Amino acid sequence: MIKAILIFNNHGKPRLSKFYQPYSEDTQQQIIRETFHLVSKRDENVCNFLEGGLLIGGSDNRLIYRHYATLYFVFCVDSSESELGILDLIQVFVETLDKCFENVCELDLIFHVDKVHNILAEMVMGGMVLETNMNEIVTQIDAQNKLEKSEAGLAGAPARAVSAVKNMNLPEIPRNINIGDISIKVPNLPSFK
């Protein structure tokens, strides 16, 4: 079972946190900090698995992470999940985000927290992997958006506002995660012989 899904940037700023087990507010923050601490220390040429610290629940748990440009995607899972399977699930997640946001970047995750959560909810439900097929997830999301639009009527306007914000000139945040051509750009991504 998946215990938590965390996304934070290179500076340890949380961009998304979803816990599938009840932890107190403080513990959640501590877990994010501890996880960032553990993950950020890792070199590029090491494995993508880590033993979870004491906080997340002992030796049975592992952290499986991927690093894309400015963001770390970390899944905390227990022993009933396959490590490599989860690693590919992260990939599916990121590719789905990319498809939904068209060239996803860190800002998308900030300004569309709700949307990202909705995408995640189509993949993982209550800690269980629900869907691993990217096309299926995108179809679901699109269908839901359509339904919402038809009910909400004028849902077009906020999107424009958001795109305006997206084009703002923000300091310090590198723009693109760039997963368009994943196997080349990201060194962490194994392409096995």
Partner 1 sequence: MSDIVEKTLTALPGLFLQNQSGGPAAAKASFSSRLGSLIRGITALTSKHEEEKLIQQELSSLKATVSAPATTLKMMKECMVRLIYCEMLGYDASFGYIHAIKLAQQGNLLEKRVGYLAVSLFLHESHELLLLLVNTVVKDLQSTNLVEVCMALTVVSQIFPQEMIPAVLPLIEDKLQHSKEIIRRKAVLALYKFHLIAPNQVQHIHIKFRKALCDRDVGVMAASLHIYLRMIKENSSGYKDLTGSFVTILKQVVGGKLPVDFNYHSVPAPWLQIQLLRILGLLGKDDQRTSELMYDVLDESLRRAELNHNVTYAILFECVHTVYSIYPKSELLEKAAKCIGKFVLSPKINLKYLGLKALTYVIQQDPSLALQHQMTIIECLDHSDPMIKRETLELLYRITNAQNITVIIQKMLEYLHQSKEEYVIVNLVGKIAELAEKYAPDNAWFIQTMNAVFSVGGDVMHPDIPNNFLRLLAEGFDDETEDQQLRLYAVQSYLTLLDVENVFYPQRFLQVMSWVLGEYSYLLDKETPEKVIIKLYKLLMNDSVSSETKAWLIAAVTKLTPQAHSPNIVERLIQEFTISLDTLMRQHAFELKNLHQNVGLMKSLLPVDKSCEDMVVDASLSFLDGFVAEGLSQGAAPYKPHHQRQEEKLSQEKVLNFEPYGLSFSSSGFTGRQSPAGISLGSDISGNSAETGLKETNSLKLEGIKKLWGKEGYLPKKESKTGDESEAPPVPQESVIMENVDQAIIKQDHSQILTQSKEEKEKQLLASSLFVGLGSESTINLLGKADTVSHKFRRKAKVKGKKSEETTSTHNMACSSFSSLSGVAYEEDYYLNTLQDKELKKFSLNSELLDPESLTELPLVKKLSDCSLSKPSLFADNNMEIFHPPQSTAALVAKEISLASSLLEETTEYIHSNLMEVCSNETISMFSYKIWEDDCLLMVLSITNKTDSELKSANLEIFPAEDFKVTEKPGCCLPIMEAESTENFQYSVQMEKPFTEGNLSGFINYEMVDAHSVQLEFSIDLSLLDFIRPLKISTEDFGKLWLSFASDVKQNIKISDSQAALPSALKILQQKLRLHVIDIIGNEGLLACQLLPSIPCLLHCRVHADVLALWFRSSCSSLPDYLLYQCQKVMEES
Report in angstroms how near the CB of residue 73 gets to partner 1 at its nearest: 15
Q: Which residue stretch of 67-75, 96-104, 116-124, 174-182 sits at the interface with partner 1 (rule: CB under 8 A)?
A: 116-124
Find the binding residues for partner 1 in span 23-82 (CB under 8 A): 23, 25, 28-29, 32, 38, 42-43, 45-51, 53-54, 58-59, 80, 82
Report in angstroms how near the CB of residue 103 gets to partner 1 at its nearest: 19
- Residue 82: what residue type? S
Report in angstroms how near the CB of residue 6 gets to partner 1 at its nearest: 10
126 binds partner 1 (CB under 8 A): yes
- CB under 8 A, 24+ apart: contacts of 30-37: 30/55, 31/4, 31/6, 31/55, 31/56, 31/76, 32/6, 32/8, 35/6, 35/8, 35/63, 35/74, 35/76, 36/8, 36/12, 36/72, 37/12
187 binds partner 1 (CB under 8 A): no
- CB under 8 A, 24+ apart: contacts of 115-119: 116/16, 117/16, 117/18, 118/144, 119/93
89 binds partner 1 (CB under 8 A): yes
Radius of gyration, alpha carbons of the chain? 17
Q: Which residues contact 80 (CB under 8 A, 6 or more apart)?
A: 1
Residues 3-22: x where in contact with partner 1 by CB under 8 A, - otherwise, as a string: ----------xxxxxx-x-x
- CB under 8 A, 24+ apart: contacts of 136-139: 137/92, 137/96, 138/96, 138/99, 138/100
Q: Which of 40, 103, 142, 165 binds partner 1 (CB under 8 A)?
A: 165
Q: Which of 136, 138, 182, 185 binds partner 1 (CB under 8 A)?
A: 136
Report in angstroms how near the CB of residue 13 gets to partner 1 at its nearest: 8
Report in angstroms how near the CB of residue 177 gets to partner 1 at its nearest: 17
Binding footprint of partner 1, residue count (CB under 8 A): 74
85 binds partner 1 (CB under 8 A): yes
Q: Vertex 106, ends 117 and 182: CA angle to 5°?
A: 95
Q: Which of 92, 99, 176, 182 binds partner 1 (CB under 8 A)?
A: 92
